[in-house]
Amino acid sequence: MPITFDKGTKIFTINTHSTTYQMMADSFGYLLHLYYGAKTQGFTDWTLTFADRGFSGNPYDAGKDRTYSLDALPQEFPAQGTGDYRSPLLVVRDSEGTYGADLRYSGHEIRDGKYSLSGLPAVYANPGEESQTLSITLTNKRLGLTAELLYGVIPGKDIITRSVIIRNNGNNPFTLEKLGSSCLDFTHGNFDAITFYGRHAMERNYQRQRLNHGSYSVGSRRGMSSHQYSPVMILADHDTTESHGRCWGMNFVYSGGFFAEAEYDQYNQTRITMGLSQEKFSYELSPGEEITGPEVIMTFSSEGLEKLSHNFHACIRENICRGKFRNSSRPVVLNTWEALYLDFDGKKILDVAESAKALGVDMLVLDDGWFMKRNTDSQALGDWTADESKLGCSLPELVRRVKAMGLDFGIWVEPEMISEDSELYRAHKDWAMTIPRENPVLGRNQLVLDLSRKDVREYIITAICEIIDAGISYFKWDYNRSISEMYSRSGSNGKLSYKYILGLYEILGRLTAKYPDVLIEGCAGGGGRFDAGMLFYTPQIWCSDNTDALDRMSIHYGTSFAFPMSVISAHVSTCPNHQTGRITPLKTRFTVSMTGAFGYELDPLKLNDDERLEISKQIQQYRIDREIITEGLYYRLNDLESDNYFAWEYISADGSKALINAVIPNNHGNNPPVYVTPKGLTPGTFYCDIDSGKIYPSDAIMDSGFPLEIPKGDYESFTFRLERISA
């Protein structure tokens, strides 16, 4: 069994294929963390040390024993007010304004199957896949507070998940000022923290830094997981590389504000925590009420960062993403945004569709500008009625005409937003999240609808259903500003940041249930809400509004640490690129964009004959490679900080086929040779490059690599398709 409990020691053990996680309810009832690492036998309570440490408080129960202090012991769910001065997961204020909650173990349950969370996305187990749930209850009698700690395990993928449900079983209200879901305490070690920072149009840049004494944190106060920081944190030994060394990862299954913190304390111990952002969060629980902390996906690798990434990839692809499109091929799309922006009419759309079909595209996606009075980005959000004078016909008729060409039809929507210049705002100003008697903060000339309100959610669902019923096969769900004013006219503003996201999930859940054959692509100004929570509802996300091939390589590199290629949406755009002005070869743009969800972001009517022919061949080739890209193992083959090239590899699960891509971003005089070293090939075999016919012994090529041709210009790309042959 993956989860066991020893009654004598009160030690809980969670085993996966390659890892062990242990904790103990000690003699005082505190739940202490013991171990998370490579799979082991026996118990690890010997990892605990006890000493009289000055200014580290002792529980009253310990009497005169000053060697016991929660300020120095590793814990599973640290709460403020227990003598532990490190960063807690829980901060509680009671009805009299007193802070603190001393939580003690009061029971547990082990059951088969993976838990689910009410109103929140969570990892699920597939039929026939071994899984279990551990529920541990901690109690504070004074407040009548119980914390149900939930641990889920998918053993075959080395995945352990954590969540928490806080309940008020007492007679008086209390308020949560902080709620985290997961904590890992390390009694010793010297670590690096790996996080992913960015900005709009340059998301998820890789960052690795040594942890020194103090706290290092990332998070979002923006009401979404954000362009600025990804809700992912990785802890690694200093010498950990892609293929060697220990590393631990946390990945937050949530699309709103978050915190992730790594603290290196006075005793050279390390604590990493993850949970809801404290900003704009003050959640009162009345008697009988509860709140659920969003899930954290955890994984450990003793074989370097690529193994940790593979664990995350498999879990998200197979245990987060759901529905028809989880394992099926995604359509090759042509999106009209960079092709036409808001300047088009019905004839133009049909001309673009006809040209796209000739190239071999599967679907036309009509982006912003299709609804009433939407001629600039400062008006009409919320008025989701097609502009028939602009389209030249009704939306169902336009869809019918495009489908008659042999193309599916997709459309852009931004349902969470409202323009001041809109019929919806004039009718329902109170639906917008603005502060009374103050001028609102505008972002992209728009305001945010209050999704905590049932009437707002019902309006959005009705509007989107009418659009889909026009024959839509795909819609791009956008979100183009952060939330600054957390104010709801329905009250409970300390709960609003959390309830907003629950409202979003309710809408998406109802739509995906009603329209299981419709593909939803998530988007928030590109990658502003690229997280596992959204992927539970939208199996692909527009990775970034930046379509420049060179920048996209860095964005894809950072994204790949926690997310599989199958969920990354990337398009070939025109040159000079609209974001950077850079000119890159069409071949290189294809090489970089050829990820799980592939398409084009250009006007096909402006292509010359050579470009049309090349794009037709690209689409044909992508269809050949699509399976290995979306289902294969992914390897990063370059060190972003030191190499003068980018290289990445997809390899089938059985190792029979590999697809290797490389780009040399800068060409210089008398360039030194660049060698690319594949990974994951079957040892003791040979591989044939099916384009050149060259034969490579697998062991030698994985040891020494093979050289790229000397580039003939900037940004040249190289692709190798290897097939295993008998020795």
* Joined tokens for residue 530: 């690229």
**Residue ranges of E strands in 414-522:** 417-418, 447-448, 474-477, 519-522
Report, as residue numbers or ranges, the catalytic residues. Answer: 531, 611
125, with CB counted inside 10 A (0-12, 13-18, 19+), is buried
Give the residue among 683, 694, 699 at the shortest CA–CA distance from 722: 694
SS3 content of the chain, % helix, strand, coil (to 5): 20, 35, 45
525's torsion region: left (phi>0), alpha (psi -120 to 50) or beta? left
* CB atoms inside a 10 Å sphere around CB 352: 23
Cα–Cα distances (Å) from 381 to 225, 419, 487, in that order, read 22, 5, 20
Give the residue among 349, 417, 410, 341 at the shortest CA–CA distance from 379: 417
> How many angstroms separate the CA atoms of 400 and 396, rounded?
6
Which residues are 371's β-sheet partners?
386
**Any residues with CB less than 8 A from the CB of 424 and at least 6 apart, and which?**
381, 382, 383, 418, 431, 459
CB-based burial, 308-337: b 16+ in 10 Å, e otherwise: bbbbbbbbbbbbbbbbebeeeebbbbbbbb
Give the residue among 176, 183, 184 at the shortest CA–CA distance from 278: 176
The CA-based dihedral angle spanning residues 448, 461, 545, 327, taken in that order and rounded to the nearest 10 degrees: 150
* Joined tokens for residue 545: 């509004």
Cα–Cα distances (Å) from 582 to 204, 286, 577, in that order, read 21, 57, 5
**Any residues with CB less than 8 A from the CB of 212 and at least 6 apart, and which?**
264
* Joined tokens for residue 390: 């602009």
